[in-house]
Amino acid sequence: SEEWKVAFLVAGPKMASGLKADLESVDLFDAKAAVEGFLDQMGAKGIRMIPIYQSRTPDHPVSKILHPGQSIEVLAGNQVLGRFGLLHPGVSKKLKLKNDVYVGEFDW
């Protein structure tokens, strides 16, 4: 059987706003805002977010590739909807990535 998933990746500079083109890199708060916007558009209710190091599913494959101090597990009631956060530095180094990369995966 197949499981439906929704995944995303966020990396690189933030969009410039206003007259000053201050192009700092995206961070965990940008990824969190994207997740919150998506869940809001989907009509999700009762959403909680906990640090990944408090995860109910620490052996999940996605949990293992995320930085433990900059990643979040998303729950609705007792059900884990998904997780997102900074790609672990060891994984980024192995992939020769130049920027921080934030990834997420959610059950559909």
Residue written as token pair 């190091």: 53
More confident of the two residues 58 and 4: 4
Per-residue model confidence (pLDDT) at position 96: 96
Q: Is the pLDDT of residue 9 over 80?
A: yes
Could you report the per-residue pLDDT of 79-101, keeping only the tens digit for each? Answer: 899 999 999 999 999 999 988 99
Dist CA 30 CA 95 (whole Å)? 22
pTM for the full predicted model:
0.85
Mean pLDDT of 58-62: 85
Could you report the per-residue pLDDT of 11-43, keeping only the tens digit for each? Answer: 988 876 665 666 788 999 999 999 999 999 988
* Pick from 4, 21, 5: nearest CA to 13: 21
DSSP string, 27-42: -HHHHHHHHHHHHHHT
Q: How confident is the model at residue 56 (pLDDT cuts 50, 70, 90)?
A: confident
